[in-house]
Amino acid sequence: MKKKIVASLLSVMMVASLVACGGSSSGDTTETDTAETATEETAEAETEEAETAEADTTEEAEEGAEESSETASDIDTSEHVVITYMTTGGKPTNGATEEMLDELNAILTEKVNAELQIYYIDWTNYLSVYNLTLAQMDGTVDLVGTATDWLDAWPNAKNGAFLELSEDMLKTYCPQTYESVSQEHWDLCKYNGEIYLIPEDNYAQWTNHGFSYRLDWAKEAGLENGVHSWEDMTTYFKYVKEAYPDIIPWDSDGTQYATMVGGWISSHSNYVSIDGLNSGAMWGGTKDDLYTIYSPYVTDTDSLVEFAKLMKEWDEIGVWKTDVLNNTASTNRDDFRIGKVAAEQHHTQTWTDLCSPTASNLIYDESSEYYDEDAETGFFYFGEEMDNLVALSITHGAMAVSAASENPERALMVYDLIRNDEECYKLFNYGIQGKQWDVDDSGLRVTPETYNSETDAITTNFWWGRNDDLEIRSAELNWDAIDSLYADYDKIKIDYPYGQFIPEVDEIQAYIDNITEIHTNYMKQIAFGKYSGTAEEIVAEYQQALKDAGIDTVTAALQEQIDALYK
């Protein structure tokens, strides 16, 4: 009897352990970077010229729609098809998105006899899940939201995951989009002469990083004009730590190292990095000499030493928690909204939210216990000291068509509508008018009083074709502050200069992987002041490790490719 019990116990365990094998996923919280806030971006998608554009573009859009339906009538759409659109973001559960899709699909069915469904890639390990889904190549998805800088667009194009979009195809099935994107911009979406991506090139946004901080506290600290340099930031953190002992100045997690050192370098040199090589963005040129490739991580030794010293100082001030490198459960941004931390490192787009009296920013909400009547949020952007600012690449968001799609033509037709057709665009981006959004007297977009963000919010995360011609400004945002910062940006910005450069990395990928690993390991210690020994020693050790891993070989290889392209 005993044996039988043990035997059955054992077999149960075997089964259990087999099941457990598949289930033990890693709780990885890689840097969601741009992506994370983008959830908010759609909710309050801003425009630069929406007000002026609104009136006259409506007509244009309608005209365009007629045109396209004429062309579309020549195309065989007799078979009803379902187009699956893949995006990054958590799958909504409240049913509001489906309700919106029903309405949208009625329109899509009428116009192109197709309906749209959304395939979500959850933020947990999003990059690997995203790549794996594409690698399946079984026709699961048709339209793929992608990006050259944060969603591996080029590696996937090279791997054969995306369909080549011929100009004829685009002209026929995506006529409005084809017209609106300039030839120059199409050229930036080509690899080996073929177009793979449809860029989001008519949408103003800034995703350069920096620190959002409490302007009111900075003023108390004696910084009357706010924080405008890393040194000011030090003063600010010191003051906060003394004046508000309950507040963690910045509850960072261990993933911020690359942005911090990258920010430091753009604040102290004219370095312009090449996107998409590695997470450290370790190669590039300078504003004055764009096509001589170097890595500031090898050459700017003094600057790095200074950085290491300052971060050691920050660590000693107690800017972050002692075990910051193992801290994966930080809720810094939410804490910022309720005044429990004093800074948030992210990009301008996030700041536009944090500085505005939106529903979740309780520090501005009189009825909330977290209300602080002086609360104001300023932004110190990396590169401010040197006026070193690069505008966003147009392929920071782009749409691709999966090579395994069974209905690529219809997918393009659907995309053309949700990008350019006013009705479809607003449904897909904002939701149902009167339920998710409405327009107030001044022509700004508001949420209706009946709106409840838990039950009514929609998630489409359409960051691959937003269109300023159709955008309506949100009434919630602090446009005075935002417009003034954007105006400053426009004075100093340069366009992303390497748009046409798609590095061929097969030969050097092994070097790059190892360099990334070294960079990560050392920079985590340096950027959070956790190294032992002096700043000079650790920087020297780091640079030696980079050299041993062959960083000069990579730089030379990139130089060769840049020369071939631009000289």
Question: Residues in the site for other proteins, rule: CB under 8 A?
Answer: 2-3, 6-7, 9-10, 13, 16-17, 20, 23-28, 30, 127-128, 131, 134-135, 137, 152, 155, 158-161, 254, 278-279, 321-323, 325-326, 328-329, 403, 506, 509-514, 516-517, 520-522, 524-525, 530, 548-550
Q: Which is nearer to other proteins, 106 or 556 (CB)?
A: 556
3-state secondary structure of 272: strand
Report the nearest approach of other proteins to the CB of residue 471 (Å).
33
Q: Which is nearer to other proteins, 92 or 550 (CB)?
A: 550
Q: Which is nearer to other proteins, 128 or 225 (CB)?
A: 128
Report the nearest approach of other proteins to the CB of residue 96 (Å).
31
- The string of DSSP codes covering 221-283 is TT-TT---SHHHHHHHHHHHHHH-TTSBS----GGGHHHHHHHHHHHHS-EEEPTTS-TT---
CB atoms within 10 A of CB 70: 10
Q: Which is nearer to other proteins, 162 or 351 (CB)?
A: 162
Report the nearest approach of other proteins to the CB of residue 525 (Å).
6
Cβ-contact 171, 178 below 8 angstroms: yes
User: Going by C-beta distance under 8 Å and a sequence separation of 6 or more, which residues neighbour residue 2?
Assistant: none
Q: Which is nearer to other proteins, 150 or 178 (CB)?
A: 150
Report the nearest approach of other proteins to the CB of residue 132 (Å).
8
CB atoms within 10 A of CB 138: 9
Report the nearest approach of other proteins to the CB of residue 168 (Å).
21
Closest CA to 352 of 52, 37, 31: 37
Cα-Cα-Cα-Cα torsion 412, 418, 423, 429, nearest 10 degrees, comes to 170
3-state secondary structure of 380: strand
Calpha distance 43→431 (Å, rounded) = 10
Report the nearest approach of other proteins to the CB of residue 284 (Å).
17
Cα–Cα–Cα angle for 299, 304, 308, rounded to 5 degrees? 160
Cβ-contact 423, 100 below 8 angstroms: no
Report the nearest approach of other proteins to the CB of residue 14 (Å).
11
Q: Which is nearer to other proteins, 2 or 491 (CB)?
A: 2
In the structure encoding, which two tokens stand for residue 382, read together? 């990396």
Report the nearest approach of other proteins to the CB of residue 33 (Å).
13
User: Going by C-beta distance under 8 Å and a sequence separation of 6 or more, which residues neighbour residue 388?
Assistant: 266, 267, 269, 270, 271, 272, 287
Q: Which is nearer to other proteins, 373 or 506 (CB)?
A: 506
User: Going by C-beta distance under 8 Å and a sequence separation of 6 or more, which residues neighbour residue 444?
Assistant: 472, 473, 474, 475
Q: Which is nearer to other proteins, 26 or 73 (CB)?
A: 26
Report the nearest approach of other proteins to the CB of residue 339 (Å).
20
Calpha distance 557→567 (Å, rounded) = 15
Q: Are strands 143-146 and 398-401 parallel, antiparallel or unpaired?
A: antiparallel
In the structure encoding, which two tokens stand for residue 119, read together? 């395939």
CB atoms within 10 A of CB 492: 12
Q: Are strands 81-88 and 114-121 parallel, antiparallel or unpaired?
A: parallel
Q: Which is nearer to other proteins, 39 or 509 (CB)?
A: 509
Cβ-contact 471, 422 below 8 angstroms: no
Report the nearest approach of other proteins to the CB of residue 516 (Å).
6
Q: Which is nearer to other proteins, 15 or 359 (CB)?
A: 15
Say which amino acid occupies 125.
N
Cβ-contact 96, 129 below 8 angstroms: no
Report the nearest approach of other proteins to the CB of residue 330 (Å).
12
Q: Which is nearer to other proteins, 322 or 453 (CB)?
A: 322
Cβ-contact 376, 382 below 8 angstroms: no
